[in-house]
Structure formats: C-alpha cells, structure tokens
Amino acid sequence: MEYINKIIKEALKNIKNDEERNFLRELSTSLIPQLINDFSQKLDEIQNEVDNLFQSNNRYINTVPVNKEELENYKETLFPVLNDDIRVIKKDKKKKTDIYLKKIFLDMNYKEIENFKNHKLSAKLKNGNNYGLEVYAVQCQDYVEKEKELAEVFESNNIDWEVLYTPYSRRFFEIYAKKNSYEINYDNADIEIDYGKYTENIYENYFLAWNIEEKEVLADQISVENIKGRVYEHRIFSSNAKNDLVKIINGKIFRIDREKEKLFVYSDVASSRNWKVWNIKDTGKNTYTNLKFKVLGNSKINDFITRFKGNSPLRTRSESEIFEIINSFSDIKNLRLKSITVDEYTEKTADSFDMNKVFNEKKTFKRNNRGKLNLYFECIEKDRYFTDELSYILSCIEYKYPEYEVKGITEWK
C-alpha cells in the first residue's frame, strides 16, 4: 500500500486539471484499497487450498511411550506399535530356556543406554522366602523391525519415504530371568528388580505407541488376464479408502485404485483374503498434556513457497535448501546450522548413528567416491535426546543428498 501511495503522489504532481486530480484522489481512497483487500483475500484462499492439499498428503509418524493404563484416553489417535504389548505375552517370548518378565523404558542419553546393556541387574522373588533371581536386560529390537515394515508399506503403496524421528524406540529393553531349580509360577509371582543407579530413569509398564492404526480386513479376489500374464485383483472395502495403506505379505503390488469406500489392489500373486490395512492418523491438533512424555515425530513446518519447491521437478540442490530442510523440523530446537563445507577434511565430528538404516538396508545407492558434506551446528542445550536429534538431521540430509557422506560438527553456544 505504501508503494502505491508513492506512485499516486508522483502522478498528482503531473496533473494540471483539477477534475482529473480529484478523480485520482477518490480512486486512491476507495477503489485501490478495496482492490488490495480483494487481492489479499484471494491470496489467503490460495494458501488455504495449498494447506489443505499439503495436509491431505501428510504422512508424518509420531511416537510416544505410553503407560498401559493411559492408552484408553488416546485410542482415537494413538495405537500400540506392537499388538503384543497389550495382550498377555507368552513367558517364553524370546528363548525357551529363559523367562520373559517385563518391558521397561530407559529415559537417558544415548551413551548411558549403551552402558546399561552391560549393567548387571539383580532381583528378588517375594514368595514367602526371598529367592534371589538372575535377571538380565536385552535391548528391544521389535520397534525398529516395525519401522522396517513401515518402509515396506510405503514402498508398496508408492509413497515417498521420509526419515523417521523415533528416539523413543531405541530406549526400550526386555527383562528376562534365567531358569533355576525353584518351582516358580511366574504368572503370579511378585518380582522386585533392582536397577541400581538407573532406578530413577526406569519406567515399567510402558510401551511405544504411534499414530498408525493397523487393522485386519477381508478382501475379495478375482484373477484378470492382461498382456503381461495373470494379474490378481483384490477388492478391499474401507471407510477411509483415500488414505489407507495396504500391506501384502507375499508378491508385488502393481497398482492401487481408490474409490470412495473401496480399494482395488492389483498384485502378481494370489493372496489370502486376510490383508493388513494401515491408516496414519493426524495428531497435529492434539497436545496430549496428560502424557508423561512428549509426542515426537518427523513433522515439519514449511512456508508457503517451500511447499511448492519441495515437489517441483525443477528443484536444484543448493546450500539454502539444506538450511530450509533443517529449519523446518518442528520438534528439534537445540541445533542451529551455521555453515556448510564440501570435501573439507575434519577430525572433529560429533557422535551420531544412521537413523535411516532401515531404509538404507532396503535400497542401494551408487555411492562410490562420495563427497564429504560437513554441517557445522551451533548447539543451545545438550539434553538426553541430543544424539538422536543430530542423527535425525544428518540422516535426513543424507537421504536428500545420497551422493554425499554427511557429517555433523557441533559448537556450543
């Protein structure tokens, strides 16, 4: 508006006729502001349409440790990653020789988690007499395996992969008791475990929940002939066919057609009538203030233009794009990217791990003679999830730039 006013003032200087001058004044005080308002309103409408389009393609995955007694309060948007977590778990879950006792969540930094693996535990069985039990902890791999299954679902449904920010999944352990000569009924046993110096950071009766609802459905199957041979059509009835993802146990999915309440899945093999359907729920509007732990995930904040740029086939790789990617991580506030160097040698790299390992195991890239991409971060606070945050950022950049080996260098504020 200020720029337009300057133009009008310059125009008034050059007008000699009072009638034309008065007309321009009236125009500038009524019609032009109205046009500007109309244009601003139209821009808002366009942005809302883009927001709706962007939201409909949202595949953000959120996770959080939840106490078994709390899950009922969040059943519309949060679901156990493993169905076994809310069922009666068999006591010989891992080994026939040892007894599975419970799952625990260890809320500590990554270095202490590594140390806990070698920590010796002790336990007592309170059953009239205090029997000493030999117990040990094994890091739970089931949640990481479930992330691998999610990668397969994304691939079979032709959805672009996004690196997952799941720091909680690597902090769960399973406790086992070695069998001994005592006749013990472990189902009803009162067992007290001594975690030593880790006691204050241990949470029992917790399991991992995420915003993915997984259902078993029945599918009608028919075979269809085409020029490539026999194709099997599977018809699945669903109330949310637009967003549902399907998982096939064996074979390859050629195509998925979606109607209002039907999914038509075409595969190369006949499958059983039982299929898995995954639906990713939107958790963005929920705060979960009653939960002990924060809901964390790979959600992003993208500005109006970046949303178009991200999906454009004309996208170019640039230093500014790396800054935009990192600044968009809504759950990560402790790291600020300062500078970037390419093929510069440095000995000072931060501890991190490949948070995209699940995807990299499934995909192979030609990475011979990869360049070195070093990201220099200013760090505000080093909390217990710092290593996970840094690892997530580096894994995201390496996913977008597979031709580079990405390293992080940290400097404290």
CA distance 267 to 247: 11
pLDDT digits (tens, 9 = 90+) for 396-413: 998 888 888 899 999 876
- Collect all residues with Cβ–Cβ distance below 8 Å to 251 and sequence separation of at least 6: 267, 268, 269, 271
For 124-130, which contacts have Cβ atoms below 8 Å and span 24 or more sequence positions?
Answer: 124/191, 124/192, 124/194, 125/182, 125/184, 125/189, 125/190, 125/191, 126/190, 126/191, 126/192, 127/184, 127/189, 127/190
Percent of the chain, pLDDT > 70?
Answer: 69
209 has a pLDDT exceeding 90 = yes
Segment 96-125 mean pLDDT: 86
What predicted TM-score, i.e. pTM, was given to this entire model?
0.77
Predicted pLDDT of residue 304: 57
Q: Determine the 3-state secondary structure of 369 from DSSP.
A: coil
pLDDT at 185: 65
Average pLDDT along the chain:
79
* Terminal C-alpha separation, the chain: 41
pLDDT in tens, 26-64: 666 666 666 666 666 766 666 666 555 554 456 789 999
Instruction: Please check whether residue 222 is in contact with residue 271, taking contact to mean a CB–CB distance below 8 angstroms.
Output: no
The tokens of 343 are what? 């093929």
DSSP of 237-279 = E-TTTTT-EEE-SSS-EEEEEE-SSEEEEEESS---SEEEEEE
Structure confidence at residue 314 as a pLDDT band (50, 70, 90)? low
Q: Is 78 exposed, middle or buried (0-12, 13-18, 19+ CB in 10 A)?
A: buried
**In the numeric block, which tokens belong to residue 274?**
């039982």
Identify the band that residue 250 occupies on the pLDDT scale cut at 50, 70 and 90.
low
105-121 CB burial, b ≥16 within 10 A, e <16: bbbbbbeebeebeeeeb
